[in-house]
């Protein structure tokens, strides 16, 4: 088996020593080339070349951002599960939502052992993914399409992600406390929290208007707070298309209510109420905004957008589990 290991040296929870140990363990079982990323987008470029040169397996060692880049490199020319290299993930970030949603251990060493066992036993699955692109006829129509593995956000939650990235650029560590602090700051600075600017449109249905927060989920849970899974859309699955949780009000009482529901959410029950909109298994829909709003995918802030078109693609990529 020809394999490529793409390792992010800035991954939050892995050291150089850990990466060396993992590389030797994988190299003992396959013909492995290990490359350390050197710039933003490098993992995408490496995965794209791997797909073009017939590599059998690409292993992503890093956080959700590294996994997202690898997936976008593999799917540069579109999904083709039978032809493209299989993907394996060794979690090295602070949250590792995609890896944990697949049922992998959240420890890099344990995950490597599970990966090797899965390869020997030929355990894999084909997962669906989300695709976000610029909307034809809008000022964002030229924005390139990009795949996401577990979630995207347009509006409030993307603003929180952007604030966290700013803090990390200033040297702050990515911790759950940092996310909570930036969430509170985003709430107090949010100009549209009582009447949102986002409209959701889908074929054959009436528009859903005045949304403040819109979370698009490709799987469940949506994220983790420490070891606690948070279920924004409990029915979301790698086997279906996309789910949406949207809120049309973020007043102080509404935030308290929905935050509590998120913290106590389960695989059977997520946020609900008169200001919450939950939609399941959507293949095609568009989010429009009256004003430019923050946009994020897989925890990566992508700037401001006024419109994003979403597509849920079933059976997009084979993953080792």
Per DSSP, 269 falls in state B
Separation of alpha carbons 97 and 238, rounded Å: 13
Asked if the domains at 2-122 and 130-316 fall in one CATH topology, the answer is: no
Query: Is 174's pLDDT higher than 70?
Result: no
Query: Is 227's pLDDT higher than 80?
Result: yes
Separation of alpha carbons 46 and 41, rounded Å: 9
Alpha-carbon radius of gyration of the chain: 19
* Segment 151-166, tens digit of pLDDT: 999 988 888 888 877 7
Maximum alpha-carbon separation in the chain: 58
Mean pLDDT within 304-310: 96
Q: Give residues with Cβ within 8 angstroms of 130, minimum separation 6.
A: 147, 148, 149, 152, 216, 218, 242, 310, 311, 312, 313
- Lowest pLDDT segment from 23-32, 149-158, 186-195: 186-195
CATH superfamily of 2-122: Probable inorganic polyphosphate/atp-NAD kinase; domain 1 (3.40.50.10330)
Mean pLDDT within 160-187: 76
130 and 147 in contact (C-beta within 8 Å)?
yes
* Segment 103-127, tens digit of pLDDT: 999 999 999 999 999 999 999 999 9
At 191 the pLDDT is 67
Per DSSP, 239 falls in state T
| 95 alpha carbon, distance to own chain's centre | 11
305 and 216 in contact (C-beta within 8 Å)?
no
Q: What DSSP element (H or E) covers 257?
A: helix 252-263
Mean pLDDT within 128-140: 95
Given pLDDT bands bounded at 50, 70 and 90, which one contains residue 80?
A: very high
217 and 243 in contact (C-beta within 8 Å)?
yes
Mean pLDDT within 129-141: 95
pLDDT, mean over the chain: 92
Q: Check residues 254 and 179 and name the one with the higher pLDDT.
A: 254
- Lowest pLDDT segment from 16-25, 123-132, 164-173: 164-173
Query: Is 168's pLDDT higher than 80?
Result: no
Query: Is 249's pLDDT higher than 90?
Result: no
Q: Which residue reads 């006829």 in tokens? A: 137
Mean pLDDT within 285-299: 94
Given pLDDT bands bounded at 50, 70 and 90, which one contains residue 252?
A: confident
241 and 216 in contact (C-beta within 8 Å)?
no
**What are the residue ranges spanned by the domains of the chain?**
2-122, 130-316
Query: Alpha carbon of 196 to those of 116, 159, 257, 284: distances in Å?
Result: 48, 14, 18, 22
* Segment 253-282, tens digit of pLDDT: 888 898 899 989 999 999 999 999 999 999
Query: Is 33's pLDDT higher than 70?
Result: yes
Q: Tell me phi and psi for residue 147, to 5 degrees.
A: -85, 150
Query: Is 321's pLDDT higher than 70?
Result: yes
Given pLDDT bands bounded at 50, 70 and 90, which one contains residue 194?
A: low
Fold classification of 130-316 (topology level): Tumour Suppressor Smad4 (2.60.200)
């Amino acid at each position: 088996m020809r394999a490529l290991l793409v390792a992010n040296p800035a991954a939050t929870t892995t050291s150089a020593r850990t990466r060396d140990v993992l590389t030797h363990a994988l190299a003992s079982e396959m013909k492995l080339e290990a490359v350390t990323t050197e710039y933003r987008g490098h993992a995408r470029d490496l995965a794209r070349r791997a797909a073009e040169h017939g590599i059998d397996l690409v292993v992503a060692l890093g956080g959700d951002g590294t996994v997202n880049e690898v997936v976008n490199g593999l799917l540069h020319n579109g999904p083709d599960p039978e032809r493209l290299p299989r993907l394996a993930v060794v979690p090295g970030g602070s949250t590792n939502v995609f890896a944990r949603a697949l049922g992998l251990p959240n420890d890099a060493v344990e995950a490597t052992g599970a990966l090797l066992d899965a390869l020997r036993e030929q355990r894999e699955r084909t997962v669906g993914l989300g695709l976000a692109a610029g909307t034809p006829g809008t000022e964002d129509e030229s924005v390139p399409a990009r795949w996401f593995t577990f979630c995207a956000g347009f509006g409030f939650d993307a603003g929180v992600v952007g604030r966290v990235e700013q803090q990390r650029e200033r040297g702050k560590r990515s911790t759950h406390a940092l996310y909570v602090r930036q969430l509170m700051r985003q709430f107090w600075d949010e100009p549209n929290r009582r009447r949102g600017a986002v409209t959701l449109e889908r074929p054959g249905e009436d528009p859903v208007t005045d949304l403040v927060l819109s979370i698009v989920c490709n799987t469940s849970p949506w994220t983790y707070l420490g070891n606690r899974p948070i279920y924004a859309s409990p029915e979301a699955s790698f086997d279906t298309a996309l789910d949406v949780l949207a809120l049309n009000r973020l007043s102080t009482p509404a935030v308290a209510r929905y935050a509590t529901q998120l913290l106590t959410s389960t695989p059977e029950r997520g946020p609900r109420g008169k200001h919450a909109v939950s939609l399941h298994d959507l293949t095609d829909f568009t989010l429009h905004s009256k004003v430019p709003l923050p946009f994020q995918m897989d925890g990566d802030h992508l700037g401001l957008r006024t419109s994003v078109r979403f597509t849920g693609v079933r059976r997009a990529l084979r993953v080792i589990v």
